[in-house]
Structure 1
């Protein structure tokens, strides 16, 4: 369908009026895939109230013109620029329309000397700071799959457009202000993928709505310096609240209406980007004309599949900065090819994964975990619609599902814009849920299990309850937590399996106002418990008053101490959590230099369990001590002692006091035979401090290093010649021991380091087959891929693939019953890229040999069928009257090398009848 079919235009007068008549307006939405309309389909980007960029591709045209105006028949202005020849048959046209008015419809056509587009329409953004009206955003994630036979992303875009226009009964440019794409717009950053994947598949909407992209890991593949990305997208002069980006086409921010959009890069983690995020937050928080902030980061804040494959920078560094302003309400991620939604534990911020329709991802495929800061994970192909009511100060988010990769191809796109999630965020509401209480009373020690019960949820805001948070701690300050559990009113995790694969709510029927501590859930001891409630607007109540209870008859309660980390900078407090003291009022904890024996006067820092050097009146068994004494630089250990003695009652905990050493490899990848250089700085200058080289997957200590050298000076480098081909990391350790005081730095030596193998070079069609691997890089999204013989990874579409959770050795089993006969190769690729790191193994899929009939004769009203068979194998007899539409007659199991069956024939009802036998 083209736009002339879509709109019934009735005279392009001064107003350019038209009547909107989509084909689905008078009935059900037409979900049959039609594909992007033919012709030149421009791509809008970087919208401003007074300007917008229009771009498109041709093979070699030399002119770039856009005619535009406020009426379709009065394109009175023309913008012109010089095209960019980026490669053979890749000419990029990009021109900026300027002098536009805010919140105004414009008509335009793009043209060169050889091609002219039809007339399209777009609307400029509202004036910066506008706080009235509606602002709508379409979020649609990873494009990635270029396969023209599947056209996954094109289908997703088409369905989103149809559903949105059906919802609002207006053309897409009247309903939607902006499209956000959170990364992996391509599979590899080649011109082929930008033109024929991203631009082409977005063609349903790109001429009418501006699209803003975020860098994903796939943009860096085949284009590590992002030369293509930076040439195609025009973000370099964007600012937000007066703050510009030091690397504007890698990470950038801008404001539309009163909403700040902050696009970060999970692939370019630098101090400069972190500082920029802080500057944006500080400026936006104090800006009166900014009321909302949305952040994007390709790798997500949290994920329940391929656990750990997230942006730790966004989770641990950027999000705490963004949460400094109450205006930050939503973080958008992608990378995982599904939909997920959660709320950060401590801040009123939603986070989602918008994974589009990229490579297959489903339950049971990877390492998985149910996290309490994710409320829903739905393994569907989806898109999201965000509507801001700027007057009411509300954000409404809906997620629509279109397809499930677990369905057969014929029924895969069967959800038809099914609503699978809906949540809201309201600014300006100060009323939080009422402070709850725990109703339990404990007059005596209890045996587990024990149920903690909260009072009912109450609020004056009108918001429904969404979550409860139960905590049980060994100390009254709740720093030594034993139970720390958030539960939501619903928790979608996993699916129902074949054939429907429906999302499963694991909290269905669960009363989240009650929490049961299971038998053996806590050791004997005294504990403190509290609870709080969160509403559907992500706001938490105050914590309840704590109650205290004592557990008896539980698991053994060995004393223990724990520290939060193993390296502490000088002048930083050192909290030590302790539990299960002996009951003496004079139990104590002290620090001693490594290698010394605890004795009187040997500890420069020690306390009784009450945090003083005066013994408490009553025994303390559990809690946390905060050591504020500035321990000298060096190695120490914390020890737990009983009753003013030097009898240790718990394992020691070693630490290092001093600054972390900085290490960098001279290169991330060395040729075989090349000397590896490891640079270091900020070292403590110990005579026996050393750098060790280890293979990935091996930890220092039990297994010797591959190579090592002392590093006694404050800064310098060490060279390591003669390393065999492999994946390695360097570790910096102190005093001839294994205390690491630097972040490990990985590097590789040689190419095709990893090895893959198969047990046979021939695979019978329909049979499962296993691929073994060794010496992998150890990265979570390393994968084994299958390509047809002669195909090029990253250029041709892969046939199938499996991740293996970052294991360095092991095997994967492919179950591909429909894999066609032919020649293929299998290889290992690293980090979700097309970087090939192993040998290739070529194999052949052999077609099933036809059954050999020994007899097939009509005998009266019966057909005698006899064929060569395999004993114990099941065969199916089928019949048809037209050599299609085969129907089952019976299934039989052969008992020998030959099998015979008599099948009845109705000559009158079926004057023509064909029979066949198939083997499972």
Structure 2
């Protein structure tokens, strides 16, 4: 589904209660004013004693800043430098030093040819200061560069910034913005493409309403790297390499850094580095220092790719989710994780830490419900709202409360002239007060002692607390073991859960938990097999604090048809001389049910098992002692057997006993026709095979392109005569399908994918069906349409559609293109890297005929059925050779009439209606 079409009405939209802290009221949009003209500088890197000031010029070579304590006493002049990034891209910057903390200064910037107005800023508060509230504007990502439409000609980000500034000032008696906000935090994708044009004319230009008065701090997103893969331009624009927290610098300079203001530490990470050991150690060092630092009360992390997302599933930072967040949450000072990348607002809570995570929302490329193909309602996300939003963070030392309020401004699917109608509507508010008492411990009030049948409802006691906090969430766990070391059910239910919307025409968010009593949880008819279970619950308040767990409630289920016994192990590869931990579930619960380990090919009941153990109840964990009992380089399987016999209760679990093979190569991109060499090491010499597949193929299901049997612990596999394509190699055990190495991906050639269209000419409003083959099969590969002569990343992207991670397929790409000449190309993984040929095509008007031509008196009238968006022109000629334009009409799909008043000179004339290409 592409960005201009929304056909899915999300489940739950029939609930009828579409409220977010009050009814949605559609008011007339606030007018857009824009920033005053003239040279407007940009502040960044605020410190208690210094700040950087930057601006652009076309060709000026001098850099001066005059500043002082009043607008009439700009007595200090600082001479800065100019960095020539290109023709018409002179970047001026200078550092103001010896400032007094939390003090207002006036300044102007000038070159030999231009002088700005006089501006005012407030220097950063002293480190650890708690003398006044601290406020930050969170806004991003904002990288869209094209204008929205002819009816709404302003940059989205520029308008979003103006809305934010207007609202914040209105909340504070219209004080100057520098008296309210300490810093602006932007979580990546400040530009769509990291070139000079977009940095100057998108990010700096559209920030100009606030940038002369309040410093802006940015993080790296994926779009910063497009056209600037080494972030060389980014490093030249910003001075983040100068800053650190507690003497712990970011090892990669501007790429990631930490920054203390007052009693806050902001940790700006770089999610584009993936699972970086160096960045991980830096996160640990920051956390260790903050734990015992009395000058720090709050820790905020920023990571462009988010912690979680309910649209475009899996397009998150697994490093942030699985590695960085557990480290940061070693201290309860870590209050908030800010993400972006998905162009929606989202807020959730980390399950086992008093911590929130958000996706800021921003105003970038359209994203909406039904667009991504795969969507899911996750326990750790409480709200997903498809609006362009921004957030205000306020920390009040008087109440020791940090609070974030989210405001919505627009929805991408509303008509352009009615899009910005929310006028800073509050759509979310959440807070954290460290040290506040937790809710009281609840209990499960169920008292049934006889066997139960499903469905069955677990009832929690009412929420209670010694504080003023309200109930936010209830967690339920059900297990077959009283210590809950393994669980059959583990779910969190929030008092509100915004997921999906009402669809056209209003696209209002839907609370699918509206009217839900979250202190009750129903075990469905097939939720659990027969057996004895333990259940417990706990309550979480709106301060993100959990109560203690309730005492377990024990119950027995009978008559269930849900039995599905299963075995699980942590990995299909068991390292040599280690025991194996087995998790079993939904067994029948016989006294002598057991788990046995056999070598591949053996038949249980014939040779004795290599290792075995009785289980304890229907579910649990056990450890099989296998050290010294298994052959290295051999395959085995685990079986779940019933009551001291050989009747198998569940599918077998195969595994490999041995070493994981390491794969490497000197590069991951090869020229077409070039030989490829794959190196391997740490291999078991046991007939394992190194196999080659095309991207999108599934090992074990698809036949490999080629295979190489390993005969030594280390070596290399030379591959010749490969066709161009995207490939990956993986080691599989013996002749089986167990993968015992990570995938090693590479490409051979450029523009590998093949893209075709069934024809080259389309009528206006006709859908275009494209076919692609041999794509790289990344999650966010996409097809994009550009005008002929324009280049991706710099030219206007007219329409696009993701291909859902497929290597090949058919996609309906676009509809409603204006008349003109275009090309279509396939791009990889949300970047502007083209991986296919370009396919050119034209959009022409449909053939139309006049319905009538009449003359009444001196009035000539032509009537016909128009097509929406087509520009028609009435022309007149006296000789059928030279035609004169008379009037124009933009079609809207209805009947149209063009008229012309005849004069005495029109003794012999001809009329026609033509379509003109813009």
1:83–1:91 Cα contact (<8 Å) kept: yes
> Which of 389, 394, 397 is equivalent to 2:396?
389
Q: Deviations over 1:793-847 (max 9, x none)?
A: 1111111111122122222224533x21111111111111111111222222112
Matches within 5 A, 1:20-169: 31-148=30-147, 149-169=153-173
Mapped to 2, the partners of 1:39 and 1:887 lie a distance apart of 40
Instruction: For residue 64 of structure 1, report the CA deviation from its aligned partner.
Output: 1.3
Matches within 5 A, 1:773-792: 773-792=772-791
Q: Deviations over 1:455-511 (max 9, x none)?
A: 111111221000011122233333443222211111111110111100000000111
**Matching of residue 843 in structure 1 with residue 841 in structure 2:** yes
Give 1:853's aligned residue.
851
Instruction: For residue 657 of structure 1, report the CA deviation from its aligned partner.
Output: 4.2
Give 1:20's aligned residue.
none
Distance of aligned partners of 1:418 and 1:885 in 2 relative to their CA distance in 1, 3 Å threshold: farther
Give 2:266's aligned residue.
261
Q: Deviations over 1:173-198 (max 9, x none)?
A: 11000111000111111111111111
Distance of aligned partners of 1:156 and 1:268 in 2 relative to their CA distance in 1, 3 Å threshold: same
**Matching of residue 178 in structure 1 with residue 183 in structure 2:** yes
Give 2:652's aligned residue.
652
Give 2:619's aligned residue.
622
Distance of aligned partners of 1:869 and 1:643 in 2 relative to their CA distance in 1, 3 Å threshold: closer
**Matching of residue 437 in structure 1 with residue 443 in structure 2:** yes
> Which of 367, 378, 403 is equivalent to 2:410?
403
* Structure 2 residue matching 1:481: 3-state secondary structure: coil
Instruction: For residue 856 of structure 1, report the CA deviation from its aligned partner.
Output: 4.8
Mapped to 1, the partners of 2:791 and 2:370 lie a distance apart of 29
Q: Pairwise CA RMSD of aligned residues?
A: 2.8
Give 1:909's aligned residue.
none
> Which of 238, 241, 244 is equivalent to 2:246?
241
Instruction: For residue 515 of structure 1, report the CA deviation from its aligned partner.
Output: 1.0
Matches within 5 A, 1:694-843: 694-814=693-813, 816-817=815-816, 819-843=817-841
* Structure 1 residue matching 2:812: 3-state secondary structure: strand
Q: Is 711-720 or 324-333 further displaced after alignment?
A: 711-720
Give 2:5's aligned residue.
none
2:531–2:588 Cα contact (<8 Å) kept: no
2:29–2:422 Cα contact (<8 Å) kept: no
Mapped to 2, the partners of 1:844 and 1:886 lie a distance apart of 20
Distance of aligned partners of 1:891 and 1:154 in 2 relative to their CA distance in 1, 3 Å threshold: closer
Give 2:429's aligned residue.
422
2:566–2:584 Cα contact (<8 Å) kept: yes
Instruction: For residue 307 of structure 1, report the CA deviation from its aligned partner.
Output: 0.9
2:30–2:421 Cα contact (<8 Å) kept: no
Mapped to 1, the partners of 2:555 and 2:729 lie a distance apart of 48
Distance of aligned partners of 1:569 and 1:273 in 2 relative to their CA distance in 1, 3 Å threshold: farther
Unaligned stretches of 5+ in structure 2? 1-26, 148-152, 868-886, 897-912
Q: Deviations over 1:617-640 (max 9, x none)?
A: xxx222222346546554432222
Q: Deviations over 1:36-86 (max 9, x none)?
A: 322111111111101111111112211111111111111111221221111
* Structure 2 residue matching 1:740: 3-state secondary structure: coil
Distance of aligned partners of 1:464 and 1:61 in 2 relative to their CA distance in 1, 3 Å threshold: same
Instruction: For residue 267 of structure 1, report the CA deviation from its aligned partner.
Output: 0.3
Q: Deviations over 1:320-367 (max 9, x none)?
A: 111111110100000001110000111111000013111111111112
Distance of aligned partners of 1:96 and 1:531 in 2 relative to their CA distance in 1, 3 Å threshold: same
Mapped to 1, the partners of 2:232 and 2:894 lie a distance apart of 63
2:751–2:837 Cα contact (<8 Å) kept: yes
Mapped to 1, the partners of 2:625 and 2:656 lie a distance apart of 15
Q: Is 622-631 or 691-700 further displaced after alignment?
A: 622-631
Instruction: For residue 596 of structure 1, report the CA deviation from its aligned partner.
Output: 4.1
Distance of aligned partners of 1:36 and 1:675 in 2 relative to their CA distance in 1, 3 Å threshold: farther
Give 2:474's aligned residue.
468
Q: Is 495-504 or 620-629 further displaced after alignment?
A: 620-629
Mapped to 1, the partners of 2:415 and 2:536 lie a distance apart of 49
1:690–1:712 Cα contact (<8 Å) kept: no
Mapped to 2, the partners of 1:587 and 1:886 lie a distance apart of 77
Q: Deviations over 1:105-154 (max 9, x none)?
A: 11111111111111111111111111332100000001211225441111
Distance of aligned partners of 1:488 and 1:854 in 2 relative to their CA distance in 1, 3 Å threshold: same
1:29–1:163 Cα contact (<8 Å) kept: no
Give 2:193's aligned residue.
188
2:531–2:589 Cα contact (<8 Å) kept: no
Q: Is 550-559 or 157-166 further displaced after alignment?
A: 550-559
Instruction: For residue 238 of structure 1, report the CA deviation from its aligned partner.
Output: 1.5
* Structure 2 residue matching 1:709: 3-state secondary structure: strand
Q: Deviations over 1:557-580 (max 9, x none)?
A: 243212233234457664322134
Q: Is 688-697 or 553-562 further displaced after alignment?
A: 553-562
Mapped to 2, the partners of 1:574 and 1:433 lie a distance apart of 40
Instruction: For residue 408 of structure 1, report the CA deviation from its aligned partner.
Output: 0.9
Mapped to 2, the partners of 1:513 and 1:869 lie a distance apart of 58
Give 2:22's aligned residue.
none
Distance of aligned partners of 1:58 and 1:290 in 2 relative to their CA distance in 1, 3 Å threshold: same
2:850–2:862 Cα contact (<8 Å) kept: no
**Matching of residue 293 in structure 1 with residue 270 in structure 2:** no
2:866–2:892 Cα contact (<8 Å) kept: no
Distance of aligned partners of 1:388 and 1:866 in 2 relative to their CA distance in 1, 3 Å threshold: closer
Distance of aligned partners of 1:869 and 1:579 in 2 relative to their CA distance in 1, 3 Å threshold: closer
**Matching of residue 201 in structure 1 with residue 206 in structure 2:** yes
Mapped to 2, the partners of 1:732 and 1:868 lie a distance apart of 64
Give 1:372's aligned residue.
379
2:825–2:836 Cα contact (<8 Å) kept: yes
Unaligned stretches of 5+ in structure 1? 1-27, 611-619, 871-882, 893-915
Mapped to 2, the partners of 1:482 and 1:114 lie a distance apart of 72
Distance of aligned partners of 1:583 and 1:494 in 2 relative to their CA distance in 1, 3 Å threshold: closer
Mapped to 2, the partners of 1:838 and 1:888 lie a distance apart of 36
1:828–1:837 Cα contact (<8 Å) kept: yes
Mapped to 2, the partners of 1:599 and 1:684 lie a distance apart of 33
Distance of aligned partners of 1:189 and 1:62 in 2 relative to their CA distance in 1, 3 Å threshold: same
Q: Deviations over 1:285-344 (max 9, x none)?
A: 121211110000000000111111100111111111111111101000000011100001
* Structure 2 residue matching 1:424: 3-state secondary structure: strand
> Which of 350, 353, 359 is equivalent to 1:347?
353
> Which of 500, 507, 510 is equivalent to 2:513?
507
Distance of aligned partners of 1:667 and 1:398 in 2 relative to their CA distance in 1, 3 Å threshold: same
1:687–1:710 Cα contact (<8 Å) kept: no
Give 1:535's aligned residue.
541
Question: Matched residue pairs, number?
Answer: 840
Mapped to 2, the partners of 1:586 and 1:423 lie a distance apart of 52
1:132–1:389 Cα contact (<8 Å) kept: no
Give 2:334's aligned residue.
328
Q: Is 726-735 or 599-608 further displaced after alignment?
A: 599-608
Mapped to 2, the partners of 1:625 and 1:755 lie a distance apart of 52
State the TM-score, normalized to the length of structure 2.
Answer: 0.87
Instruction: For residue 644 of structure 1, report the CA deviation from its aligned partner.
Output: 3.0
Distance of aligned partners of 1:483 and 1:225 in 2 relative to their CA distance in 1, 3 Å threshold: same
1:143–1:197 Cα contact (<8 Å) kept: no
* Structure 1 residue matching 2:538: 3-state secondary structure: strand
